[in-house]
Amino acid sequence: AMERFAQRQILRPLEAIDLAAVMQEAEQEALQNLRSEGITPDRAAIARRLVGARLHGQEAVVWVEADATPAAESIRTAFTRQFTQLYGYPPPARGLEVESVRVVARELPRPRTHTPNSPHAPDAPRIAPTRPAAPNPTELPIIDRETLAPGASLVGPAIIAESHATTILDRDWRLHVDEAAALILQRIATPTAPAAPPQAIPELLTARLTAIAGDMGETLRRTAFSTNIKDRLDFSCAVLDADGSLVVNAPHIPVHLGALGLCVRLVNAALDMQPGDAVVTNHPAFGGSHLPDVTVISPVFVDGHRVAFVASRAHHAEIGGIRPGSMSPTARSLSEEGVVIPPLHLVKDGTPHLDAFRTLLQSGPFPSRAVEENLADIQAQLAANARGVDAVTRLAINHGTSLLTAISSLRAGSTARVLDSLRRFSGQPLDAQAVLDDGSTINVRVLQQADRWTIHIAASPAAIDTTQQGAASPHPFNLNAPLGVVRSAVMYILRCLAGGELPLNEGILDAVDLRVAPGMLNPTFPDDPAHCPAVSGGNVETSQRLVDALLTCFGVAACSQGTMNNVVFGNSDFGYYETVCGGAGAGPGFNGAHAVHTHMTNTRITDPEILELRYPVRLDRFSVRRGSGGTGQFRGGDGVIRCYTFLTPVSLSLLTQNRMQGPHGAAGGNNGAPGEQQLTLPGGVPHMLPSSAAIDLPINATLTLQTPGGGGWGYR
């Protein structure tokens, strides 16, 4: 049946509009649209009336069914029901606004004539077609869709043919034609499926858990407010066991995922989590990576027993701090990077506590500049977690101890896989060093004793803060990497060595004894954020250089660009953040890829159209930086050139690496080209900017970013 719709954009508070009048106007338009297609008035009717409502300040719309004369109270009740189903808790006491109204008009079925003895006439007995002994497509009865009037029914197998579709009615299914002439198919008997072999059950359940994490991520993407989450996909979702150990994740951001297990365990030890709860934090002392990465954790209970956790971590483009974007290169303490969120209940026993979260975002010496955006994205994370809790609960109820066995099997299998991959390095000296652009060093040594492998990691800042002398001194600025970030880098490399399909999980780290010296890569965090070291660059840049050191240590590939090329700009009205792709390192038997995100990040880069539509910036150039990859038997991938012109005064922050030297080649391959960034002020000449820079720009200033190429592999 033909359908046509009409829509009215409202964008006004619910109580301030006459919904009945708007609905009536939309109904008339929808019916007129049908009439314009030749449908007579007696064959046209309204099929659905929908109201798109949302909380004030939220971008995501919740669609609710309405009647011809909708009252504000009925819409609010329906919204509450839909909102609770989506997010897992009732909506907060905030204003409700109507984004739009949509009406769908549908063509009624044409009057049909039937032979008196037709088995498909409404008043005739319902009989199933004869089933041949060995049916195949040519032996099934073929029924013309036009002969099926409302009320008709039949049992398969059969083929229902029409001009634009074919419906296959299988065995053990019944077809019924409803009053709108739609075909309703219903299973009348469940075929007995062969039982899965016992050895396949853990694999099947692992796949189910992985799909749940992926579904959480898609829910987060669809319901988020910010470009950073919706378009750049800077988020991660995971399922963890009852003790808070990472079980599976979707293929999201590697730098997030190794830290999630540590985060959940530390938060669970600090704060009691019960059914219906959701807890938020971004504190590095509790497994956070850096302040813009905000984590929401929800426990999963079945029959009063905790069986799992689900968690989502998303990068909020603004969380406060001394500069817009919350990633200032000049920050010397955690408090200067933004609002520090210790473990805090967002939802307690099903009741939201978002007002307390709002108050926290607005407090402190450097509060968030985008509180409403923060709240909207947090609600999207809650929606993702609610989706995960529901799915894991159903899985646990249906499979019970089989699920626990699958989790144990996955962890043990991952450990065995990693140990097997490490055996090829037995007897080799394994150590390497990476030097950051400011002269700070990262040292890695891998030792084997019998079947036990130990990874020693230490770092030394180039400039030791005179107030904190000694080997355990943190970096004076923001290149400190919390322990969770270090664990993520090591887990990522071990996962790469193992090869094949292996979900990131805690079993990977069970294969090694990880020892991280206190200091720049394992800083301590006092209670007062003003006395905690800054960490934003450690999460995005130090992590990449640690991966370089680990790759060099194992000698499996040349270094990739070794940086996320963080570009942050904004002012009091907005904040924007993106990471820029570069060249991948080559390896034995393959060239490096051009213009890709590598290693600890796999976010997208914002499309030029989206960037220019939502922010006061013009993208003048975005192209491959030809020839920037290192030469060798196999070439490193090329970086990119990305040129921005700012159409309003902004504060610009840059956090990058590999500007002093290019990414290292391996096995005789040459280094990739180092990156560089040039700033051109209106009427001025281009001048180079350092690896890390913080500068206030006038209107029409231009930034040209050239990202590093990957290292080459082997002699030519």
pTM over 0.85: no
For residue 143, list its beta bridge partners: 160
Return averaged pLDDT per consecutive 10 residues of the chain, 716 residues in all: 88 92 94 90 91 80 90 92 81 86 86 46 42 52 87 90 86 86 83 62 86 93 85 91 90 78 96 96 95 97 95 94 94 96 95 92 94 91 94 92 86 93 91 96 93 93 54 87 94 91 88 95 95 96 96 96 96 90 97 96 90 95 98 98 98 97 96 98 94 96 98 94
| Cα torsion angle, 474, 478, 483, 486, sign | negative
Strand ranges of the sheet holding 142-144, from the earlier edge strand across to the other edge: 142-144, 158-161, 166-169
If we measure between CA atoms, which residue out of 70, 133, 506 comes closest to residue 287? Answer: 506
Beta bridge partners of 623: 641
Q: How many CB atoms lie within 10 A of CB 153?
A: 16
Q: What is the pLDDT of residues 583-636, one digit of tens each?
A: 999 999 999 999 999 999 888 899 999 999 999 999 999 999 999 999 999 999
Q: Give the pairing of strands 142-144 and 158-161.
A: parallel
* 3-class secondary structure per residue, 325-373: CCCCCCCCCHHHHCCCCCCEEEEECCEECHHHHHHHHCCCCCCCCCHHH
Which pLDDT score is estimated for 122? 44
In sequence order, which residues have a C-beta less than 8 Å from that of residue 430 and are 6 or more positions away?
A: 445, 446, 447, 553, 554
Q: What is the structure's pLDDT at 467?
A: 41
| Residue 322 neighbours by CB distance under 10 Å | 19
Q: What is the pLDDT of residue 438?
A: 95
pLDDT, position 466? 38
CA atoms of 292 and 323, how far apart (whole Å): 13
- Per-residue pLDDT at 529: 95
Are 279 and 267 a contacting pair, CB within 8 Å? Answer: yes
* Residue-level pLDDT at 128: 42
pLDDT tens for each residue of 386-442: 999 999 999 999 888 888 888 888 899 999 999 999 999 998 889 999 999 999 999
pLDDT score recorded for residue 127: 40
- Crossing angle of helices 401-422 and 483-498, rounded to 10°: 80
Angle at which helix 371-399 crosses helix 201-223, to 10 degrees, equals 160
Asked whether the beta carbons of 705 and 565 are under 8 A apart, the reply is: yes
What was the pLDDT predicted at 107? 87
Give the CA angle between residues 238, 244, 249 to the nearest 5°: 15
pLDDT given at position 211: 93
Alpha-carbon span 645 to 704, nearest angstrom: 9
Residue type for position 531: H
- Say if residues 333 and 287 touch (Cβ distance below 8 Å): no
* Predicted pLDDT of residue 265: 96
Pairing of strands 452-460, 512-516: parallel
What is the tens place of the pLDDT at every residue in 118-142?
444 444 334 444 444 444 545 788 8
